[in-house]
Chains A and B, each alone.
Chain A
Amino acid sequence: MPAKELANPCVDCGDAEFVVDVRSRRLCKPCFERYVSLKVLRRIENYRRPKSVPKGQPYKLLLPLSFGLSSSVMLHAVNAQLERQLSKPYPMVGFEVHVLVIEPSSISPSSASAESRFDLLQKTFPRHSYKMLPFHSIYEYEPTIQDIMTQFAGEEFVDDASLSHKERLDAFRASIATATSKADVDQVLLNRLIVAYAKELNCDAILWGDSDSRLAAKTLANVAKGRGSALTWQVSDGKSPSGFEFNFPLRDLFQAELHSYANLIPELMAIIVPDEPPSDNTLTKNLSIDELMMRYVQTHGEKYPGVMANVTRTANKLQPAAVSAKARRCAFCDAFMGDSDEKSEFCYACARSRPDLAC
């Protein structure tokens, strides 16, 4: 005789009431956590055991964290895995995690300062090393960026070296005309800062916290911005032109699933800054392409989550083009450039975001 009758048992263990409905399967909390963590761990399988050369060294992984839902959930899942490894009688730790936060208030003035959140983060997951950098520290980590920015922005823009780094970056960002170009340029600069920091730390790989839904939106947006050839490292796991392994461990998880996960874990909720709901009264033409695609994926994702997931999977099947070591790279976004791009220092897509060409 069963000990107790469950109205809606978890389909995996059958021992507890279900709490979430995941892709038509009702799971209890522990089983759902296992589900999420398996999906994440499958993606970082390569770092399960320490490096063979130099022997026994753990992999150094950089985890950029935005205090958003996805990157926070990823840190939680990765942290849980490390704890599990360490709790074994003969612990074998395959990797160590370095968390990098780019101070949100230095990216968008409307964001609150993240100091207290940053403290809380370190207390919640004390096992890792942490660093918070302002956006304008890109001038320190990427000294060449000053010249590139001046060239990129064209004649209209005059870089005033007497200003503070923050003011100079603000002036540069203000010179970019449209919402799409602004978002694109910010993304490129953030990427560069993160990669430069990873280099300084001598990391082996970067774990990006993009969920499946985000990756689908990113795929479509990259294609719409002429960055189709960058999909192999912007969306797929693999080596980026900078030589770093880029990993997207959340690629098999929908945003809704990450929401359910975070909702079950109170300490995570305290860290996450919720996304601002998209305002309905923005005209389409004032959106950036990235926003448009995120909306597209979200609205269609409700009805057709599988179709959206399939977009990411399709992009992931593309193979990086074989490039020689001498292949030219875009001075701004670092992407490989084809032979046809004449003498310009900037790739096709970056040229689109330049102020004088903005249209």
Chain B
Amino acid sequence: MPPSLCANCQTTRAVIIRPKNRQKLCKTCFLTIFETEVHETITSSSLFHRSERVAIGASGGKDSTVLASVLKTLNERYDYGLQLCLLSIDEGIKGYRDDSLETVKRNAVQYDMPLEIVGYGELYGWTMDQVVAQVGKKGNCTYCGVFRRQALDRGAARLGIKHVVTGHNADDVAETVMMNLLRGDLPRLSRGTSIVTDSGASEIKRSKPLKYAYEKEIVLYAHHKKLDYFSTECIYSPEAFRGSARTLIKDLEKIRPSSILDIVKSGEDMALLVPPEVNGGTKKPAAAAVAEDDTPGGCGSQNGRSSGGEMAELEKKLAEDETAASRETEIQLPAAAPKKKTKNPDKSRTPKQVKVQSMGKCERCGYISSQKICKACSLLEGLNKNRPKTAIEVGVGMEDEESSSTLMRQMEQVQLTSG
């Protein structure tokens, strides 16, 4: 079979089949097209203004490394006039973050960008390793997610920067749309797809310039540009956490590659149909409560994913609601139906309005919060309360874990030999 030529330039041999539309391209054309598409995303949504200082949330992973590389290229090519810098969060996870931070440090040199590292340890007095030792592996992603959001904001504030860009890609956004549908989470459905999430409450605006870029193409870009990135997933993200949405998106991509973009498009369209009272009274997808509200997704790579446990929990809650509802109708059967209709929307409306109105600052740390004390501070309170005990407990916990894993290994051996 003769080698096919690049569909774009018709001169060089095609070496890449674009995951997005199965177009055959040569390396140079692929890189240019990828960059141009990001450029179009940036210009069509007027993401930046001249001489803006922008911090790139850099984890050392493929998404943020590609983002940094592409932004640097575009900034020079199209003369955006941006001042770019890298902002990294050190969660304090040995064997994962310390290695990936080395990557970011190299990136800073390669791209000639200043780098700022903000550590959980210095901000909160707790590294993630310490948190995990205290709360266990289950549920620690909540802490990490809450802490990260604030840490990014604080890091940006320290640098005097008002705009943080993150490496969320089209797959992430599509996953979030599906997940929020499965969760029945309308407020998040309404704002999950918007490219910029800024709010009146926070000074710092967030955006995702790679929103329309396929994860697979990001990997291809990183590969062909020979970018230096770190590809290990967080050691605390267990397999079980890979939720339904993720699998579903992968299957959909196999059936129809465009479906990732189609989901993003649906998500954007649906965001406009979310009733205003749900998304906080503004016509535009609201971001007012973002700072606090966006947390259970956990860390960037986990964004929108959910464990089976979460699904089971929701199921239980819904079943309880339903039995409660059926009891209610039974008692007032004759006039129940019409009455309920008017009653229900009110119920769901009231707490949301209250939430938006009471947006203020955390009493302890001054971070925006709808409560008196922000989520990070209340999580910290829980952690700190138990601190004295922790030292002892940690020791026991570690031992326990070790012995159990030894036991597990022994079991495996038994199975192997018997098999």
Contacts and interface: CB of A to CB of B under 8 A. Distances in A.
B248 interface: yes
16 contacts: A23-B319, A23-B323, A219-B181, A220-B181, A220-B248, A223-B267, A224-B262, A224-B266, A229-B269, A232-B273, A292-B252, A292-B255, A304-B314, A307-B311, A310-B314, A359-B22
A359 B254 contact: no
A45 B244 CA distance: 36
A321 interface: yes
Interface in A280-333: 284-285, 287-289, 292, 296, 300, 303-307, 309-311, 313-315, 317-321
B121 interface: no
Contacts of B178: 220, 223
B251 A359 contact: no
A51 interface: no
A310 B254 contact: no
Given A223-B181, A304-B315, A309-B318, A289 B337 contact: no
A173 interface: no
Interface string B173-207: 00001100111111001000000000000000000
Contact of A306 (B256, B265, B315, B337): B315
B312 A284 contact: no
B248 A226 contact: no
A45 B266 contact: no
A68 B92 CA distance: 57
A243 to B, nearest CB: 19
Contacts of A318: 270, 273-275
A310 B269 contact: no
B296 to A, nearest CB: 16
A231 B262 contact: no
Contact of A296 (B183, B248, B267, B272): B248
A87 interface: no
Given A178-B256, A307-B311, A315 B181 contact: yes
B257 interface: yes
Nearest to A228: B266
A338 interface: yes
B401 interface: no
B40 to A, nearest CB: 14
Interface string B278-300: 10000000000000000000000
Interface string B97-108: 000000000000
A70 interface: no
A229 B251 contact: no
Contact of B273 (A287, A292, A321, A349): A321
Contact of B266 (A229, A288, A310): A229
Interface residues of B, number: 45
A180 interface: yes
A226 B262 contact: yes
B399 interface: no
B256 A310 contact: no
Contacts of B274: 317-319
B255 A223 contact: no
A227 interface: yes
Contacts of A315: 181
Contact of A307 (B21, B261, B315): B315
A285 B252 CA distance: 8
A225 interface: yes
B316 to A, nearest CB: 8
Contacts of B75: none
B258 interface: yes
Contacts of B181: 219-220, 223, 311, 314-315
B253 to A, nearest CB: 9
A335 B272 CA distance: 16
Contact of A229 (B270, B322, B326, B337): B270
Contact of B262 (A42, A225, A305): A225
B278 A317 contact: yes
B259 interface: yes
B17 to A, nearest CB: 11
Nearest to B266: A228
B170 interface: no
B315 A319 contact: no
A188 to B, nearest CB: 16
B218 interface: no
Interface of A: 23-25, 42, 45, 178-180, 219-220, 222-229, 231-232, 284-285, 287-289, 292, 296, 300, 303-307, 309-311, 313-315, 317-321, 338, 348-349, 352, 359
B251 to A, nearest CB: 5
B66 interface: no
B263 interface: yes
Contacts of B183: 310
Contacts of B248: 220, 296
B183 to A, nearest CB: 8
Nearest to B18: A359
Contacts of B185: 314
A304 B322 CA distance: 13
Nearest to A315: B181
B318 A310 contact: yes
A314 B186 contact: yes
Given A220-B181, A224-B252, A317-B186, A24 B323 contact: yes
A317 B189 CA distance: 12
Nearest to B247: A296
Given A224-B259, A296-B244, 16 more contacts: A25-B326, A180-B256, A222-B266, A223-B266, A223-B267, A224-B262, A226-B259, A226-B265, A226-B266, A229-B266, A284-B254, A292-B252, A305-B315, A307-B314, A310-B182, A314-B185
Nearest to A349: B262
A359 B257 contact: yes
A27 to B, nearest CB: 12
Contacts of A288: 255
Nearest to B268: A228
Interface centre among A23, A223, A309, A315 (most CB of B within 10 A): A223
- Per CB-CB distance, the 9 closest pairs between chain A and chain B, nearest first, are A228-B266, A306-B318, A226-B262, A229-B269, A318-B273, A314-B184, A310-B184, A285-B254, A223-B266
B306 to A, nearest CB: 11
Given A42-B337, A178-B256, A223 B270 contact: yes
B267 A285 contact: no
Contact of B255 (A45, A284, A296, A317): A284
A76 B169 CA distance: 49
A317 B275 contact: yes
A317 B274 CA distance: 7
Contacts of A180: 255-256
A311 B311 contact: no
A352 B257 CA distance: 11
A352 B258 contact: yes
Contacts of B258: 226, 352, 359
